[in-house]
Amino acid sequence: MVEQLLARGYEVNVFDIRQGFKNPDVTFFLGDLCVKKDLYPALKGVKTVFHCASPAPSADDKELFYRVNYTGTKTVIEACKEAGVQKFILTSSASVVFEGIDIKNGTEDLPYAMKPIDYYTETKILQEREVLNANEPSSNFLTTAIRPHGIFGPRDQQLVPILIEAARSGRMKFMIGNGKNLVDFTFVENVVHGHILAAEHLSSDSGLSGQVGTIIL
């Protein structure tokens, strides 16, 4: 995300609980996204926010999922509105409409899962609802949510490493079903490109305002 934004000539602030990389062209702000006062310095003068923060789906901490994905997102939205941010783009998940039943040629009109596949997804549904409900064109605060699935690519620290470790430990020797299920994985550069396009085209009359988009390539 940072690399593509810089390549397009944008100024970039990064807010995180720790500094995961170094770049002389980026201003880093450290803090807890659940603490509003920590967010204000990073939001000063900012017009567009990409909310990508989330615990790893493979973690097993319900309290953390709820705190970051739901209550933390509510805090970020409040801080953005108070700071004068105009556009808010959320990294959501395609799993918010999945209930363990095959989806083929699905669209953004599918309802949220009534029985989410796990608690992480349950909190992502709460999060996405909060973001879309916060859309207020009359107040010049526009929101949209992007739904990728199974992100992989350069510097991936979750999907592929977890699969490799599972294979090494012998946990991938079994197959459930006929083996013909298809799953879309999303290349990280396509995810980023989709987020940036959403931000650049987000307006009160664009069709993106208060809506979702799915990336499956």
The two beta strands, 211-214 and 12-16, are unpaired
3-state secondary structure of 117: coil
| pLDDT beyond 90 at 23 | yes
The whole-chain average pLDDT of the chain stands at 93
- Asked if 56 and 69 touch (Cβ cutoff 8 Å), the reply is no
| pLDDT beyond 80 at 57 | no
DSSP type of residue 89: E
Burial of 148 (C-beta count, 10 Å sphere; 0-12/13-18/19+): buried
Q: How high is the pLDDT of residue 184?
A: 82
Q: How high is the pLDDT of residue 74?
A: 98
Structural domains in the chain plus CATH codes: 2-214 (3.40.50.720)
Q: How high is the pLDDT of residue 109?
A: 92
| pLDDT beyond 90 at 180 | no
Q: How confident is the model at residue 111 (pLDDT cuts 50, 70, 90)?
A: very high
What is the tens place of the pLDDT at every residue in 61-88? 899 999 999 999 999 999 999 999 999 9
d(CA 73, CA 153): 26
| pLDDT beyond 80 at 58 | no
Catalytic residue among 10, 70, 112, 120: 120
Average pLDDT over residues 147-174: 89
d(CA 80, CA 88): 8
3-state secondary structure of 185: coil
DSSP string computed for 121-184? HHHHHHHHHHHHHT-BGGGTBEEEEEE--SEESTT--SHHHHHHHHHHTTTTS---SSS-----
10 as an active site residue: the answer is: no
| pLDDT beyond 90 at 162 | no
Q: How high is the pLDDT of residue 158?
A: 82
Q: How confident is the model at residue 53 (pLDDT cuts 50, 70, 90)?
A: very high
| pLDDT beyond 90 at 216 | no
Q: Name the token pair of 180.
A: 């013909």
| pLDDT beyond 90 at 102 | no
